[in-house]
Amino acid sequence: MKKKDIVSLIKAHYNHDENEFMSITSRIAAEFERMGNTELASYVTDQISQTDTLVPQGVNYETKFLTQIEFDNSPLPLPKPIADDLKGIINAVNHKLGIGRFLFEGAPGTGKTESTKQVARLLNRVLLTVNFNEVIDSKLGQTSKNISTVFNEINNMPNLSRVIILFDEIDSLALNRLDNRDVREMGRATSSILKELDNVNPDAVIIATTNLYDKFDPAFRRRFDAVINFDRYTQKDLLDVAEALLNNYLSRFSSVNRDIKLFRKILMSVDKVPNPGELKNIIKVALAFSDPQNPYDYLSRLYKDLHHSQELDLKALRDQKFTLREIGILTNTPKSTVARELKE
């Protein structure tokens, strides 16, 4: 095997040029054959015939019911127990033992959907989400038919082993069959999903998310190989997440000053630190609206947002154990003035 073949093979892989990759690999197998190494040639040929190494260029996975989700390399700080579970999912998929149905459950904003994107990115897979607005139909029985169509598309999808299917907030479909709201129709929908999950292509990797796990039919829960609980953030975890988010955003700002100690103190001044999804939005908005002439204005805005307050109260800040220096930063007031006003 020539050195240039190795270089070309690597280049084809990173360029996602499947045709070139397969051509080079076939040429290498033929060379092994000519050298008399028939066993190795057969192994290479067998591997490329059984494995869809790369997703073909130009393949369009989108349909009426399935939409591709783009994702980036933004940091996703997670508590170690959840991060370890995601690593377990990646290992399970790579082991190819037919374990590929996962349910992410937890309160809104705990990172379920973002974690799905992270799993897809790390597995180098296309991420498709099911459009429930199209699936759910007011016509009697049509929702069940649409569910059947969705799974038919999944089961017959080209390069299925290079795709992850996301059922985001699947409770829209899989409500408890004892629910009093439209019992018959939602019962049919749940039954359809149960049936389809039992017969889904073993190459399919499906991740569903929900905020209403306790309302699910027990039979539905059992259809998943693993259930990952995202309600496992301690206060320290949330503070670490917030700090990571802040540091990521601060890299884009040149007119703000960093004060992590005060930042964390502001977060701890509320009864409960918000979940990551809400934290991300609060921090981003505070920075976006901040005054370029005041390098600490984002901290003041953060405090007001968390406390649902329009103004800053000096006495309340003091009662919350903020120092004179910190109160001065938050109110954009000299420390001496803060001391005098509090004394008065």
DSSP calls for 152-176: HHHHT-TTGGGEEEEETTGGGT---
Residue 10 pLDDT > 90: no
**CA dist., res. 14 & res. 159, Å (int):** 18
Could you report how far apart the first and last alpha carbons of the chain are, in Å? 86
pLDDT value of position 107: 96
Q: What is the mean pLDDT of the chain?
A: 85
Residue 220: which pLDDT band, with cuts at 50, 70 and 90?
Answer: confident
Q: Which of 2-16, 81-95, 152-166 has the lowest mean pLDDT?
A: 2-16
Residue 71: which pLDDT band, with cuts at 50, 70 and 90?
Answer: confident
| Average pLDDT of the residues in 210-221 | 88
Point out which residues pair with 310 in neighbouring strands. none
| Average pLDDT of the residues in 38-66 | 63
| Average pLDDT of the residues in 235-254 | 93
Residue 59: which pLDDT band, with cuts at 50, 70 and 90?
Answer: low
pLDDT value of position 65: 92
Question: Which residue type, as a one-letter code, is found at position 72?
Answer: D
pLDDT value of position 144: 87
Compute the C-alpha angle 2/56/199, nearest 5°. 125
Q: How far, CA to CA in Å, does 48 sit from each of 21, 120, 126, 236, 312? A: 10, 23, 21, 48, 66
- Of 286, 284, 281, 280, residue with least CA distance to 330: 286
Domains of the chain: 3-50 (no CATH), 66-229 (3.40.50.300), 235-343 (no CATH)
Residue 90 pLDDT > 90: yes
Concatenated DSSP letters of 16-49: T-HHHHHHHHHHHHHHHHHTT-HHHHHHHHHHHH
Residue 56: which pLDDT band, with cuts at 50, 70 and 90?
Answer: very low
Pairing of strands 66-69, 126-130: antiparallel
**CA dist., res. 58 & res. 334, Å (int):** 61
Residue 30 pLDDT > 90: no
- Of 54, 199, 50, residue with least CA distance to 126: 54
pLDDT value of position 240: 95
Phi-psi region of 325 (alpha: psi -120 to 50; beta: other; left: phi over 0): alpha
pLDDT value of position 125: 93
Residue 156 pLDDT > 70: yes
Q: 73 versus 105: which is more confidently predicted? A: 105
**CA dist., res. 240 & res. 243, Å (int):** 5
Q: What is the pLDDT of residues 313-339, one digit of tens each?
A: 999 999 999 999 999 999 999 999 999
Q: What is the pLDDT of residues 280-322, one digit of tens each?
A: 999 999 999 999 999 999 999 999 999 999 999 999 999 999 9
pLDDT value of position 173: 78
Residue found under tokens 């975890």? 237
Residue 13 pLDDT > 60: yes
What share of the chain in percent tops pLDDT 70?
A: 81
